[in-house]
Amino acid sequence: MRVLDLVGLNQQQVATLADEGIEVVTKATETIDAVYGWGPQAASLLDQGPSFHFVQSFSAGVDYFPLAALKAANVELANTSGIHAVPIAESVLGYLLAFGRGVIDDKMIFTSRISRRLSTAPAILAGRLRLTCEHSV
């Protein structure tokens, strides 16, 4: 399988795909099986009658893709909708626990007048983790 990479996979990602028998190319050729991302190279292949049958978007939105042309050419399009659902849920739960247990208090919340960021060096106070904060005006 040959994949046209229009996003910029790193060397480790390319090596992992190679281990699975997937060749990653960065220039459009006549024999592409799938496209990762979208751009003028893929659009020109689509106009020529595509050899690829699958496009992987690197975003949740696909409004910028030529949806009618992809459908007419029987090219499947996948997006990454929901890819961040678990990390976001974990962050929300972490903040709920932090506020509920007093690890973070209302003085550390971002306001429109004073920007505050958590310090990179947390302090241990009375047996529990206490995040210190730096203030910048």
Query: Residue 107's domain spans which residues?
Result: 85-136
| Statement to judge: residues 50 and 97 lie in one domain | no
| Statement to judge: residues 13 and 73 lie in one domain | yes
Strand pairing partners for 36? 5, 56
CA distance 30 to 14: 20
Going by pLDDT thresholds of 50, 70 and 90, the confidence category of residue 23 is very high
Residue 69's CB is within 10 A of a number of other CB atoms, namely: 13
Q: Give the H or E element holding residue 123.
A: strand 123-125
Where does a domain end: 58, 78, 98? 78
CA distance 100 to 93: 10
* Dihedral sign computed on CA atoms, order 4, 8, 14, 20: negative
| Statement to judge: residues 69 and 102 lie in one domain | no
| Statement to judge: residues 60 and 95 lie in one domain | no
Going by pLDDT thresholds of 50, 70 and 90, the confidence category of residue 137 is very low
9 is written with which tokens?
A: 């996979």
Domain count, the chain: 2
Per-residue model confidence as pLDDT tens digits over 74-130: 989 988 888 788 888 888 888 888 878 877 766 665 543 444 444 444 444 444 444
| Statement to judge: residues 74 and 92 lie in one domain | no
The per-residue pLDDT for 114 is: 44
- Note if the pTM is more than 0.75: no
Strand pairing partners for 3? 24, 34
Regarding beta strands 128-130 and 2-5, do their DSSP bridges make them parallel or antiparallel, or are they unpaired?
Answer: unpaired
CA distance 133 to 69: 52
| Statement to judge: residues 11 and 41 lie in one domain | yes
| Statement to judge: residues 57 and 116 lie in one domain | no
CATH number at residue 9: 3.40.50.720
